[in-house]
Amino acid sequence: MPLTDTACKNAKTKDDGAQAKYADEKGMYLLVNKTGKYWRLDYRFNDKRKTLALGVYPEIGLKLAREKRDEARRLLAEGIDPGELRKVTKATSKLSAANSFEAVAREWFAKYQPTWSEGHATRIIRRLERDIFPWLGNRPIAEITAPELLASLQRIEKRDAIETAHRAMQNCGQVFRYAVATGRAERNPAADLVGAIAPAVKTSFPTITDPSKIAELLRAIDGYKGSFITQCALKLAPLVFVRPGELRKAEWSEFDLEHQLWTIPAERMKMREKHFVPLSQQAVAILTELQALTGSRQFVFPGARTNGRPMSDNTVNAALRRLGYSKEDMTGHGFRHMASTLLNEQGWNRDAIERQMAHAERNSIRATYNYAEYLPERTKMMQSWADYLDGLKAGAKVTPLFKTA
């Protein structure tokens, strides 16, 4: 006799606690044991007796269980084993999940993250999580087409984040190439999108390169009325012209003031290579004065609210705004462009300048230089640069300063 909803609800184990079976029809029954109630279907395939799980009661009610039973019987009529089909479907689903764009992208990210700076890695994963994963993350990477990828990139483009769209396309291309290399995809659809996104307008960080304007800036920094620690960061920035993150995260353990050298460890450098910064006498004087205040702490420029963290990434820029320089006039990064422009104009060795800037070297032959190469010349250049800035600040006649042999 077929089961009813009431019979299913009242079904219990046997008096001795053993499991009990309550037959419905066409091979389906409700199996009741100490842990719960389970729908089962007994069937034969290739002369072998098999059992198929149809779900758990009451999540799967009687009506739905019968529908699942009838679907299994239709498969049997077509010569398909419903149990084996379920196994294949489940395995395929797992494989698809493992080979989804997001899964492959995160695997690629984990592989290369150790070679990137913390900030660079954070920007990449945030870009993917915000702009790509919501639309392509669950898709099998091998099935993603160029139009699908373009649609995601155009969403970024429509909010006028053109540079971000180009960087996202570059990151996606790297993920697809990794998928091809690891056998999860046949080709890289990002390669088909060259020219499909509007070209990004290249903009340089705002900077000041007019010597008379530099002099005004330096005098304004000397008159800064805010935090002494912030003022020291402002004073040191043009003398060392490292990246803002490298400056604000500086630790006292990295400095050898006696030998006038700052050694930035590889893990804090954008290019993941240890970097030497020769310190001019002026830079040493600033650091020596600051050491009396923060020398017992980890960071040279500790945050205002806690000693356990460096100053925020906006501190120097905010100080420049306080001095009257807008974001279109000058930024913390602008000190690098200032030094690079004028040092090249002054005739210093381009290789020494590039090495001091810690720029990536694209030429494979030139890239073989050691991180300490040109150090004597760089030491001389850094002192000359500091003297030049002092001269400007003091109102000296502004004339090009050329390196002497």
Task: Indicate which residues carry an active-site annotation.
Answer: 243, 270, 333, 336, 359, 369
| Share in percent of the chain as helix, strand, coil (round to 5) | 55, 10, 35
> Which has the closest alpha carbon to 212: 383, 343, 393, 403?
393
Tell me how far apart the alpha carbons of residues 335 and 242 are, in angstroms, rounded to a whole number. 8
Q: Where are the alpha helices (DSSP H) in 204-298?
A: 211-222, 228-240, 244-248, 281-294
Helix, strand or coil for residue 372?
coil
DSSP, residue by residue, 295-355: TTSSBSSB-SS-TTSBPPTTHHHHHHHHTT--TTT--TTHHHHHHHHHHHHTT--HHHHHH
Tell me how far apart the alpha carbons of residues 64 and 56 are, in angstroms, rounded to a whole number. 11
Helix, strand or coil for residue 71?
helix
The phi, psi pair for 108, rounded to 5°, reads: -60, -45
> Which has the closest alpha carbon to 265: 278, 277, 282?
277
Beta carbons of 64 and 55 less than 8 angstroms apart: yes
Beta-strand runs (E) in 18-162:
20-23, 28-33, 36-45, 48-57
